[in-house]
Amino acid sequence: MTKIVAVIAVQDRLDLLNRTLRSLAACQLPPSFEKTLIVENGGDHGVRSVVDGAPAQLKAEYLFHPVGNKSAALNAALSCVGDCLLVFFDDDVRVAPQTLMAYEAAACASPSGRFFGGPFGVDYECPPPDWLRKSLPLSATGCPMDETREQKECPFLGFNWAAYAADLRRCGGFNPMVGPGSPVGATGQESEMQARLTRAGVRPKVVPDAMVWHYVPKERCTPKWALERAFRQGKSAGLTHVYKETTAAGIPRWAYTQLLFQYVRFGFSPFMLSRAKRFKARWRLAYLRGHLEGAHLALRGSAEESYASALSGR
């Protein structure tokens, strides 16, 4: 039976980490559960004391990575485990009691060739207005998830998914250019990894009973944050996408066309659109601007320089 190792990358949110560990300790732990790896990254913020005080059944181990970069932290965890199933949580989730058992059952049914993920809800500090909710990312709204999600190249979010360590290593590990701590501000650390797994022939599998709830603070339910997030999402897409379309100066023509269209649409939006649609036009504009900036970064080669810097810890 494949061993299961839970992995959490964390910086300084000790109260939320304690909450996550309490919920994890309340789970039914499967026979294959080996340990919990908690990787502090970006400085010493007292995480070791939380790990030392974690419930004994979690078999919590502390790792430290000096660079504040989630992908680099996960690579540190990957480097110190054998052939196992890594289950990734974040320090701000609440884990349902059956979640680890569900991941074990999925691994037993598919001992190779798959990566896994489950549905999630949200725990709001202060719920967003309805008109804004449609422009927030899934991490701030929740996703019930069914098998249709398996048709997407990057179906799961980073705070509730699992992959075999051997597959992650075969694909080169996590990319420090994307995700929290990215040197260019790009999001999508888990999406980029899942895209590479898919291209390598590892297919996604939804695990309906592997449920978590993601804590969403009030500052992540504002228009300002939604637009900043849209820009960073677009930047990540532009930075990591392999273009097959006809390009102009290395950038696909549709991106320029869409950017122009959105500028025109946004200019007329005060007269023609509802509040929700006006904001969606601003969101799309921010995403496309980010996409073009990410594509230009990749084209210039500065992305590779930043990637090397992140890997070396500079």
- Domain map of the chain by residue range? 3-220, 223-312
Rg (CA), the chain: 20
- pLDDT band for 52, please (50, 70, 90 cuts): very high
pLDDT by residue (tens digit) across 60-100?
999 999 999 999 999 999 999 999 999 999 999 999 999 99
Q: What percent of the chain has pLDDT over 90?
A: 64
Residue 253: pLDDT above 90?
no
**Cβ(301)–Cβ(307) under 8 Å?**
no
Topology annotation, domain 3-220? Spore Coat Polysaccharide Biosynthesis Protein SpsA; Chain A (3.90.550)
pLDDT tens digits for range 174-214: 999 888 998 888 888 899 999 999 999 999 999 999 999 99
N-term to C-term CA, the chain: 40
Q: Measured between alpha carbons, how far is 66 from 73 in angstroms, rounded to an integer? A: 9
**Taking a C-beta distance cutoff of 8 angstroms, is the pair 145, 118 a contact?**
yes
> Whole-angstrom Cα distance, residue 231 to residue 292?
10
In angstroms, the Cα distances linking 169 to 78, 175, 256 are: 8, 12, 36
